[in-house]
């Protein structure tokens, strides 16, 4: 199956036209997603309903023919499976019970007990590996430990990850116990996704940018390295994409240091700079600002072309720098795809 374009790029091949997919490609900007979500009831019910989760994963593939599908789920299913309470407040985002004491950390379930709770997700993966077009790559994912821990410690999303930074400073053993449990669970979870049929896995460290210096080494780089080493030992042929979002200059060398096959770049990074300093080590993914999916027009076309050109001398997967937002116009997504692929025509 190495003829799939995404797998070729991840293996280090420079392709004439970069393969393309989009973070949050199944989401609220699509009317068909909103309809299926309404049918499921709420967001978490959708995540745990294999038929409907597979359906929303397939919707952007049918509409746009992306080169990859990403499993529909959420990074916060891991805290849910570890026994924390999780719910989503419409218009606000996730809410969780918190873990900030030694007792609460000890009450988290063991990593190898998550599978029963997550069985519906593995079933979604199995359905998708049967139903996806043969040229489409199936990507599984999990949140990186730091990002997941920031939600577990704060009980919600935070602008600056303050509560997690505070726990790290004030009670490092508890902080590290949470990080360790999430790291172990993530290895089990991604391994099970691969066994169910995920062909690539991606580790989302959305808040990596708030870790500086030694903290970045200890809590972004080291857990990614540990997870990747464990997965490579069990599944040596499955490529892994790491996304240490807003890592800035710490993107340099991240793939080599962690063993990742590809590094995903957010849109704060200049593409020409990243081609020189990050793509030298292998495949990169990114990095169009998702705001172009709202505003469209010539700016979208110009910036898309500039990114394709900047990364054209090495392996590249075209993507946004972060997830597409609910206010995006589905026609702008088509314009982005046409612009990326225009080089292939004629
Ligand atoms: O990319 C994909 O399409 C795959 C599915 C996916 C979702 N969330 C679906 C989702 C993935 C990979 C995620 C990752 C995720 N979830 C991250 C890391 C990536 C990132 O975006 O930074 C984080 C931090 C979360 C946690 C989370 N889930 C938050 C903070 C929210 C609320 C924010 C919002 O947009 O409302 C979610 C909800 C969520 N996850 C939605 C989707 C499609 C919207 C839910 C809805 O339908 O109301």
The 10s digit of each residue's pLDDT in 56-102 is: 999 999 999 999 999 999 999 999 999 999 999 988 999 999 999 99
Q: Whose CA is nearest to atom 2 of ligand 1?
A: 24
Nearest alpha-carbon partner for 204 in 304, 285, 117, 325: 285
Instruction: Enter the pTM of the model.
Output: 0.97
Q: How many C-beta atoms surround the C-beta of residue 342 within 10 A?
A: 14
DSSP β-bridge partners for residue 68: 137
CATH of residue 251's domain is: 3.20.20.210
Signed CA dihedral, 133, 19, 22, 203: sign only: positive
Contact 343, 17 (CB under 8 A): yes
Average pLDDT in the chain? 97
CA 26 to ligand 1 centroid distance, Å? 10
Q: Could you tell me the distance, in angstroms and rounded to a whole number, from the CA of residue 42 to the centre of ligand 1?
A: 13
Report d(CA 262, CA 251) in Å as an integer. Answer: 11
Cis peptide before 287 (omega within 30 of 0): yes
Closest-lying ligand 1 atom to the alpha carbon of residue 26: 3
Q: Whose CA is nearest to atom 31 of ligand 1?
A: 93
Q: How far apart are CA 285 and CA 35, in angstroms?
A: 30
DSSP 282: S
d(C-alpha 224, C-alpha 242), whole Å: 8
* pLDDT value of position 90: 86
Q: Is the pLDDT of residue 1 over 60?
A: no
pLDDT > 90? residue 243: yes
**Averaged over 164-170, what is the pLDDT?**
98
At 91 the pLDDT is 86
Kindly give, in sequence order, each residue whose CB lies less than 8 Å from that of residue 62, ignoring residues fewer than 6 positions away: none
Q: What domain range is 121 assigned to?
A: 5-344
Reported ipTM: the value is 0.92
Do 252 and 278 form a contact (C-beta atoms < 8 A)? yes
DSSP string, 67-99: SEEE----TTHHHHHTT--EEEETTTEEEE---
Residue of 238, 320, 245, 337 whose CA lies nearest to 285: 320
Residue 346 has pLDDT above 60, yes or no: no
Q: Tens digits of per-residue pLDDT, 246-299?
A: 999 999 999 999 999 999 999 999 999 999 999 999 999 999 999 999 999 999
What's the gap in Å between 276 CA and the centre of ligand 1?
Answer: 31
End-to-end Cα distance, the chain: 27
Residue of 157, 246, 323 best suited for mutating to test ligand 1, as the one with most atoms within 8 Å of CB:
323
Residues designated as active site: 24, 28, 37, 74, 151
Site to substitute for ligand 1 among 22, 23, 24, most atoms within 8 A of C-beta = 24
The three state secondary structure string of 153-200 is HHCECCCCCHHHHHHHHHCHHHHHHHHHHHHHHHHHHHHHHHHHCCCE
Shortest-distance Cα residue to atom 32 of ligand 1: 93
SS3 217: helix
Enumerate residues lining ligand 1, CB below 6 A. Answer: 23-28, 37, 43, 70, 72-76, 93-94, 141, 143, 157, 204, 206, 323
For residues 119 and 80, what is the distance between their CA atoms, to the nearest angstrom?
Answer: 13
Residue nearest to atom 45 of ligand 1 (CA): 43
26 is in an annotated binding site: yes
* 27 CA to centre of ligand 1 in angstroms: 9
Please give the tally of structural domains in the chain. Answer: 1
């Amino acid at each position: 199956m190495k003829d799939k374009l995404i797998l070729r790029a991840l293996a280090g091949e420079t392709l004439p036209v970069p393969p393309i997919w989009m973070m949050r490609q199944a989401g609220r900007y699509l009317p068909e997603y909103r309809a299926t979500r309404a049918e499921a009831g709420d967001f978490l019910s959708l995540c745990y309903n294999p038929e409907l989760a597979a359906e929303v994963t397939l919707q952007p593939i049918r509409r746009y023919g992306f080169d990859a599908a990403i499993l529909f789920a959420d990074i916060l299913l891991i805290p849910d499976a570890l026994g924390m309470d999780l719910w989503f407040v419409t218009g606000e985002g996730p809410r969780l019970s918190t873990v900030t004491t030694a007792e609460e950390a000890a009450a988290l379930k063991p990593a190898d007990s998550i599978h029963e709770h997550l069985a519906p997700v593995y079933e979604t993966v199995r359905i998708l590996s049967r139903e996806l077009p043969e040229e489409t790559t199936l990507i599984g994912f999990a949140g990186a430990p730091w990002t997941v821990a920031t939600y577990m410690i704060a009980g919600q999303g935070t602008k600056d990850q303050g509560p997690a930074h505070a726990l790290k400073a004030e009670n490092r053993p508890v902080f590290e116990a949470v990080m360790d449990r999430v790291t172990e669970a993530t290895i089990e979870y991604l391994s099970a996704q691969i066994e169910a049929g995920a062909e690539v896995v991606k580790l989302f460290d959305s808040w990596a940018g708030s870790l500086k210096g030694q903290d970045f080494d200890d809590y972004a780089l080291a857990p990614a390295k540990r997870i990747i080493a464990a997965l490579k030992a069990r599944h040596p042929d499955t490529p892994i994409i790491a996304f240490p979002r807003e890592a800035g200059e710490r993107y340099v060398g991240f793939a080599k240091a962690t063993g990742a096959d590809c590094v995903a770049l957010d849109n704060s990074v200049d593409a020409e700079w990243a081609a020189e300093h990050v793509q030298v080590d292998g495949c990169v993914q990114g990095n169009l600002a998702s705001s172009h999916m709202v505003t469209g027009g010539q700016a979208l076309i110009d910036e898309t072309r500039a990114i394709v050109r900047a990364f054209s001398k090495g392996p590249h997967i075209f993507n946004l720098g972060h997830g597409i937002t609910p206010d995006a116009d589905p026609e702008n997504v088509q314009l982005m795809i046409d612009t990326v692929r225009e080089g292939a025509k004629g």
